[in-house]
């Protein structure tokens, strides 16, 4: 059964019209859809399939192959937790476990209030500050488990 219809902005429709026939355009269009919705809702993938004449299975093949693409709506504040070598060795996994414990979520879940989700990422490019987390565009370096409650509390009020 198809999902409910979805509306694309005029800018997104124009972008799809431009990139729909270009080689490699699918990834560009998926990035743009995710920019608009913060994830790729199934109705958006279905609409894209019709607009560009690609099988939905091919579109989902790309979405599920690349870790960057999300098929579920993330929290208002996504906490990117670095799992690169430097961060991992300096306690990154323990930070992930502590953040999940504080927020009461597991895996790719979103908190009940819709405020938070956690993304384990390969590298944030701040190895000298390991372990590093990022909330939105704000970077926190040399993070300890004891600092996590305060960092998270800061975003509960925003």
- Say whether both 51 and 119 belong to one domain: no
Same domain, 60 and 108: no
pLDDT per residue as tens digits for the range 37-52: 999 999 999 999 999 9
- Residue 3 has what pLDDT? 56
Q: Is residue 41 part of a domain?
A: yes
Q: What does DSSP assign to residue 61? A: H
- DSSP states of 30-77 as a string? HHHHHHHHSS--HHHHHHHHHHHT--HHHHHHHHHHSTT--SSPPPSE
Question: Residue 139: what are its φ and ψ, rounded to 5°?
Answer: -95, 135
Q: What pLDDT was estimated at residue 158? A: 60
Give the pLDDT confidence score for residue 113 in this predicted structure.
94
Q: Could you tell me if 53 and 118 lie in one domain?
A: no
Given a cut of 80, is residue 142 above it in pLDDT? yes
Question: How far is CA 68 from its chain centroid?
Answer: 6
If asked whether residues 60 and 93 sit together in one domain, one would say no
Mean pLDDT of the region 56-63: 96
Residue 147 — pLDDT band, cuts 50, 70, 90? very high
Identify whether residues 83 and 151 lie together within a single domain.
yes
4 located within any domain: no
Q: What is the CATH number of the domain that holds 90?
A: 3.40.30.10
Mean pLDDT value of segment 103-126:
92
Residue 2 predicted with pLDDT over 80 = no
Same domain, 27 and 86: no
Let me know if residue 43 belongs to a domain. Answer: yes
Distance CA 18, CA 80 (A): 32
Task: Tell me whether residue 2 is in a domain.
Answer: no
Query: Where a domain ends, among 65, 86, 106?
Result: 65
- The reply to whether 34 and 94 lie within a common domain is no
Domain count, the chain: 2
Asked whether residue 119 is domain-assigned, the answer is yes
Q: pLDDT over 70 for what percent of the chain?
A: 97
Instruction: Give pLDDT, residue 21.
Output: 87
Look up the domain containing 98 and give its range. 77-156
Report the predicted TM-score, pTM, of the whole model to 2 decimal places.
Answer: 0.75
- pLDDT single digits (tens) 60-111: 999 999 888 999 899 999 999 999 999 999 999 999 999 999 999 998 889 9
User: Distance between CA atoms of 153 and 155, rounded to whole angstroms?
Assistant: 5
39 DSSP 8-state letter: S
**The last residue of a domain, from among 22, 41, 65:** 65
Pair 82, 131 in one domain: yes
């Amino acid at each position: 059964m198809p999902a409910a219809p979805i509306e694309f902005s005029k800018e997104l429709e124009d972008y799809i019209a431009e990139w729909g026939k270009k080689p490699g355009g699918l990834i560009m269009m998926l990035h743009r859809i995710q920019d608009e919705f913060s994830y790729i809702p199934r109705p958006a993938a279905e609409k894209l399939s019709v607009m560009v004449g690609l099988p939905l299975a091919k579109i989902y093949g790309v979405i599920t192959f690349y870790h960057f693409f999300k098929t579920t709506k993330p929290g208002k504040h996504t906490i990117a937790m670095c799992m690169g070598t430097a961060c991992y060795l300096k306690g990154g996994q323990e930070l992930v476990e502590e953040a999940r414990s504080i927020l009461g979520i597991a895996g790719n879940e979103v908190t009940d209030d819709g405020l938070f989700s956690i993304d384990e990422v390969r590298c944030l490019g701040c190895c000298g500050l390991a372990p590093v987390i990022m909330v939105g565009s704000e970077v926190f370096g040399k993070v300890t488990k004891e600092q996590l409650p305060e960092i998270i509390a800061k975003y509960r009020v925003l």
